[in-house]
Structure 1
Amino acid sequence: MKSSITACPLDCYDACGIVYDDGKLKAFKDGHTNGFLCPHINHYDAHARIEKARYKGQEISMDEALAKLKEILDANLKSETLCYRSSGNFALMQGVTEHVFAQMGTYVTEGSLCDGAGEAGIIEGRGSNKNMPLSEIAKSEVIVFWGRNPHVTSSHLLPLIKDKTVIVIDPVKTKIAKMADLHIQIKPHTDIFLAMLLYRFLHIEDSCDDAFLKEFASEHEDYYELTQTIRIKAILEDIGMTLGQIGDFLHLVVGKKTAIVCGVGMQKYRDGADVMRAIDAFAVGLGLFGKKGCGVAYLGNSKEAIKMPFDLSKAKKVSKVDTPFDEFKTVFIQGANPLSQMPDSNRVRDSIEHVENVVYFGLYENETSEIADLVIPAKTFLEKDDIRTSYSHNGMMLMHQQQESDIGISEYDLAVFLAKEYDIALKSEAEYLEHFKNHAVVKIDGSFEVEKREAIPYQEGFDTDDGEFVFLEEFEVPQKVEENEFYLITVKSPKSLNSQFYREENVYLHSALGYKEGELVKLISNVGEVELPVKLNDDLREDCVLIYSGTKGVNNLTTSKHSYEGKSAICQENFVRIEKVN
């Protein structure tokens, strides 16, 4: 068997190139992968997949499953059918099934369980969401990890930090925080205050990039006045930092090529868009945009500069955050696990129980596949052709089929079946793949890169009407925990990708709270509760409770309210109480 290059399909920042060699996955040593793969993809074949279709618990053939799918869809009005697709597989062809459902006249979803508030804030301030690519982070002198834990979520950043100054802002003393030149162990939901204070002191110390502000941010004085409404001493105490740390921070970044690398946790609040805008405003004060080795890295739009051939514009939509499943008779779920990953799991469970037919189309068993009436196994990324783009770099990676398999059906082949049955026009798979490839240019080394993406975004100014940055004009004071309440932190696990692969089973608490290792406790929020055994972790703040994303029951605790902008889940805006279980 020949070796061939493909790409990882998983939803993470890195979007790694992969060599499939004699049945094994190896790292593509050229480019940003740097010769190693994350544990998820490195042990991809160790995770049991769904191999047989089933209906009402009984195994059936794929032909029978497709016939049953048509029977189910024919039994309802299209307005009584919902297609709920996740973003867990980031290859571009994954949207073809949702496209067909949209053309059929069913409902689809909109919004985000992850990053929508931050993106909304970026667009409001800059006019577009153009990310700082990895190639520019590599040129920086200082890296600020703001709520990003690269050892878990973006390990291929780690070789880029060698010999650089590292600053970490995180309520958890992560591995990168322990290595950092400066760690600010911030209280959750105070990031907006820190960002505004940093801008204020940048101005006080006359350290702003005045030429940049004059050309691209003429309203900066008004924003400075807004930052003056913050009471410095009280806010510093609330954040959990000192005035000296503000000075240390500015000393490390002023006049240096600085990359502010943001995670998604700091924007999982109702005002998450404002948090991101405040961080961007600090970067504007430093003049970090449009320059080599400088900028703010968040989640770029993986489809930036690509005209998608799949059309959802005319489809009727419901929110992905608080989907009213009980308003539909049939729900088709692609590659998602809403019973675990959607907020307010009790509401989701009660709502989906009223659905007459739940169809699950995916690779792995989970809470949602367990309750599904019809289960249709999917093909893995090694068993089909696809194309991958990234939200952390500008590469376009071709994913050629690596192996034949009788298991499952691809998204495109399922779409072909539906298109034929419901008389919907669909191009050939080769035409769609060629359409995507036509958005790329070939670099000197032979790799593909998305055409019309800027290597250094915003060199000619921002993408607003006047080319200037739009500052915040007001902000909301976040609610604080009351006595005997704790901030809930739901971060990514090093062992799982949300509810895929090896899932955590514990709640992590600081030892000062007096609980014992392994002790069973009940966590209670305003929307639900869950019982979990305790793991002690003194890398946490004492006012925080950490439960990894994907832990069974964690979303019993999270509200299904939306962010103010971006239609995003706000999983960090939840307070919990702790009770011992007798």
Structure 2
Amino acid sequence: MSLDNKTIACPLDCYDTCEAIVVDGKIRGNKGHFPTDGKLCANFVACLKSEYLQTPLYNKQNISLSKVLDILVQKLKNTEAKNTLFYKGSGNLGVMQSSLKSFFAKYGSTLTQGSLCDGGGGEGIKATRGEVVNPPLENLLTADVIIVWGRNFSVTSSHMYNLVKDKTFITIDPIKTHIAKNSDLHLALNPKTDYELALLLTRFAYMQDMEDEEFCQRFETSEEFFDLAKSRPIISYEEATGVSLEDVNRFFEIIENKKVALVLGLGVQKYYEGANITRCIDSFAAFLGLHNSSKHSGVWYLSNSMYGYEKQFDTTSSLEKEDVSQVDFSKYELVFIQGANPVVSAPNTRRVIEGLKNSFVVFMGTTYNDTCEYADLIIPSCSFLQKEDIRLSYGHQYKAFSNKIDEPSTNTISEYDLTKYLFEIFGFEGLKEQKEVLEYYKTTDIKEYKFENFEFIDDIEIEHLYEQKLENEYYFITAKQKKSLNSSFKIDNYLYLNPKSNIKEGSRVKLRSKYGEASFEVKLTNDVKPNCVLCYAGNKKANYLTPYKSDESSHSAMYQEVLVSIELS
């Protein structure tokens, strides 16, 4: 039977959530899917070429699927549920991937809470608007100027960027990213001073009569926010942020009498007070009127893709939860890891590895990663081409549909089929049929969210890194890079320094933080500020330096709450 015209949803953890289609037996970008627009990005192509797991492993030895399932069941039956942990990653973001969590919730495992990604920022936006929901993607296309704040937009959102690449861009980022190089203005602020820049821009918006009086009058808390913005001398903001007043004036020259959108990234909230930093930026955007759709084009962040949908898999049974940024794997007799690579992606790698060594680790995923080295039992999941699923996007409002276009291998199993198997073995009830779940997401239409209230931030307390920073210390920055995604595909393990560091290209250096140490080979670039060091996501040594602590309000990681010193190896 011909597979032509069947669609395939990209499973990857990125804003675009693109969709492919089979044409003449080949996989192509779907021209009928608005965000994809007929193009496939480098990460989707890499995903198609990945070498997928085909055989289950027990203690590094090949075994059959039936045997691996028998071992899993016996382990679960012989272990108290309170001594087990279910740890889910974002290796595949299809809606069916949440099915397995519903089994472990019923079984009574500890689950994780919070995020390694966007938690603080999401909490901040919820505090201002009530929901973390983006405007329709079409609104972005109406903008004359797009402000990109803490997000390498052209790399992390290449499909969305392609739709608006001819716009005027302003980039706010400590690093001279790809999008910064393609912007009319780059404000290279110091790390963790984003909220101060937001307050400085608010002052200038007021002085230049560019605030949205209609929006501010509608939500009375704007006066308290402006009082916060003017509570410090302007010159103090310039000194703290490292952004000149000349560049601030240029910012307003570019946006004056223009329709503006703000695309906010994860970089601004990788700190202890990440929620309030994000809330401050969103309040500046509101003061300027960017949420007023009659004048501007809105503010984008990492949206709640489940907004407006009812959860189809019940995970409320388990009451025990542990912050994902603080997980101590050694506490548990059995750890089940689904589609994650905590050895590279979780904070404080050394602690993660020591914890996994002291647990019975079950890994389920499609590819062999760093965490598999510490797994006792490995269950190969079917690839995304071998199962039906639906992707809901956190970058835009469009769904992507994934049909089964390939038969799974004999010794692989889908997440849903494993869930169904475990429900039957343990006599659990309440699991919906796969067809019913998929049909629900296919047929449910979500209304556009319009916030009825906006709560401007009126007070903020930040522990400034620049007040702690010693002369020989650097801000530690992490960022996304083209041709890699988190810990997948082409990984870059270099440490990037500014040439003013006086360290030679190719040198081996040791970085130390209060949380750990690691050695790196150096590459030099003027894209990094002299007071910063940069590691790209997926760098295998980067998280030896990061804190296994949670942020102020969202149980989430704070990767950039770190200062490091450098010594030659």
TM-score, normalization: structure 2? 0.96
Q: Secondary structure at the match of 1:67?
A: helix
* Letter aligned with residue 106 of structure 1: S
2:484 corresponds in structure 1 to: 496
Q: 2:338 aligns with which of 334, 343, 348?
A: 334
Q: Secondary structure at the match of 2:536?
A: coil
* Letter aligned with residue 365 of structure 1: Y
What is the deviation of 1:129? 1.1
Q: Secondary structure at the match of 1:532?
A: strand
Counterparts of 1:123-134 in structure 2, within 5 Å, are: 123-134=126-137
CA distance in 1, matches of 2:48, 2:204: 52
- Counterpart contact for 2:479–2:535, Cα < 8 Å: yes
Of residues 288-297 and 171-180 in structure 1, the stretch that sits farther from structure 2 once superposed is 288-297
Q: Secondary structure at the match of 2:35?
A: helix
Alignment partner of 1:12 is 2:14 = yes
Q: 1:554 aligns with which of 508, 518, 542?
A: 542
CA distance in 2, matches of 1:79, 1:158: 46
Counterparts of 1:201-280 in structure 2, within 5 Å, are: 201-215=204-218, 217-280=219-282
What is the deviation of 1:22? 5.3
- Counterpart contact for 1:270–1:573, Cα < 8 Å: yes
- Counterpart contact for 2:3–2:25, Cα < 8 Å: no
Counterparts of 1:266-305 in structure 2, within 5 Å, are: 266-291=268-293, 294-305=297-308
What is the deviation of 1:157? 2.5
CA distance in 2, matches of 1:201, 1:366: 49
Q: Secondary structure at the match of 2:432?
A: coil
CA distance in 1, matches of 2:95, 2:292: 28
- Counterpart contact for 2:174–2:188, Cα < 8 Å: yes
Cα distance, 1:22–1:418 mapped onto 2, change above 3 Å = farther
Q: 1:427 aligns with which of 409, 424, 432?
A: 432
- Counterpart contact for 2:222–2:456, Cα < 8 Å: no
What is the deviation of 1:251? 2.4
CA distance in 2, matches of 1:34, 1:227: 42
Alignment deviations for residues 294-335 of structure 1 (CA, whole Å, 9 cap, x no partner): 111000001111101112223121111111222210000000
- Counterpart contact for 1:133–1:297, Cα < 8 Å: no
What is the deviation of 1:254? 3.8
- Counterpart contact for 2:312–2:432, Cα < 8 Å: no
Cα distance, 1:370–1:21 mapped onto 2, change above 3 Å = farther
- Counterpart contact for 2:9–2:389, Cα < 8 Å: no
- Counterpart contact for 2:356–2:374, Cα < 8 Å: no
Alignment partner of 1:137 is 2:140 = yes
CA distance in 2, matches of 1:564, 1:289: 26
- Counterpart contact for 2:475–2:532, Cα < 8 Å: yes
Of residues 251-260 and 543-552 in structure 1, the stretch that sits farther from structure 2 once superposed is 251-260
1:178 corresponds in structure 2 to: 181
Of residues 246-255 and 197-206 in structure 1, the stretch that sits farther from structure 2 once superposed is 246-255
- Counterpart contact for 1:321–1:569, Cα < 8 Å: yes
Of residues 113-122 and 79-88 in structure 1, the stretch that sits farther from structure 2 once superposed is 79-88
What is the deviation of 1:162? 4.0
CA distance in 1, matches of 2:86, 2:523: 38
1:473 corresponds in structure 2 to: 459
1:324 corresponds in structure 2 to: 328
Counterparts of 1:464-543 in structure 2, within 5 Å, are: 467-480=453-466, 481-543=469-531
Q: Secondary structure at the match of 1:323?
A: coil
Q: Secondary structure at the match of 1:43?
A: helix
Q: 2:412 aligns with which of 402, 408, 411?
A: 408
> Where in structure 2 are there 5+ consecutive unaligned residues?
none
Q: Secondary structure at the match of 1:547?
A: strand
- Counterpart contact for 2:145–2:258, Cα < 8 Å: yes
* Letter aligned with residue 429 of structure 1: Q
Alignment deviations for residues 449-473 of structure 1 (CA, whole Å, 9 cap, x no partner): xx22x1xx43xxx34xxx2433232
Q: 1:567 aligns with which of 534, 555, 562?
A: 555
Cα distance, 1:477–1:82 mapped onto 2, change above 3 Å = closer
Provide runs of 4+ in structure 1 moved above 4 Å.
none
CA distance in 1, matches of 2:83, 2:383: 30
**How many matched pairs?**
560
What is the deviation of 1:397? 2.1
Alignment partner of 1:388 is 2:391 = yes
What is the deviation of 1:51? 1.4
Alignment partner of 1:191 is 2:194 = yes
- Counterpart contact for 2:225–2:456, Cα < 8 Å: no
1:350 corresponds in structure 2 to: 354
Q: Secondary structure at the match of 1:98?
A: helix
CA distance in 2, matches of 1:428, 1:405: 20
CA distance in 2, matches of 1:358, 1:224: 52
Identity %: 39
- Counterpart contact for 1:110–1:319, Cα < 8 Å: yes
What is the deviation of 1:477? 4.2
Q: Secondary structure at the match of 1:516?
A: coil
- Counterpart contact for 1:254–1:286, Cα < 8 Å: no
What is the deviation of 1:367? 1.8
2:443 corresponds in structure 1 to: 438
1:369 corresponds in structure 2 to: 372
2:564 corresponds in structure 1 to: 576
CA distance in 1, matches of 2:441, 2:162: 31
Cα distance, 1:290–1:313 mapped onto 2, change above 3 Å = farther
Cα distance, 1:49–1:410 mapped onto 2, change above 3 Å = same
Alignment deviations for residues 270-308 of structure 1 (CA, whole Å, 9 cap, x no partner): 111111111111111111214055111000001111101
CA distance in 1, matches of 2:181, 2:490: 26
1:448 corresponds in structure 2 to: none
* Letter aligned with residue 436 of structure 1: Y
What is the deviation of 1:343? 0.3
> Where in structure 1 are there 5+ consecutive unaligned residues?
441-450
CA distance in 2, matches of 1:22, 1:551: 39
CA distance in 1, matches of 2:463, 2:234: 14
- Counterpart contact for 1:17–1:28, Cα < 8 Å: yes
* Letter aligned with residue 443 of structure 2: N
What is the deviation of 1:23? 5.4
What is the deviation of 1:187? 0.9
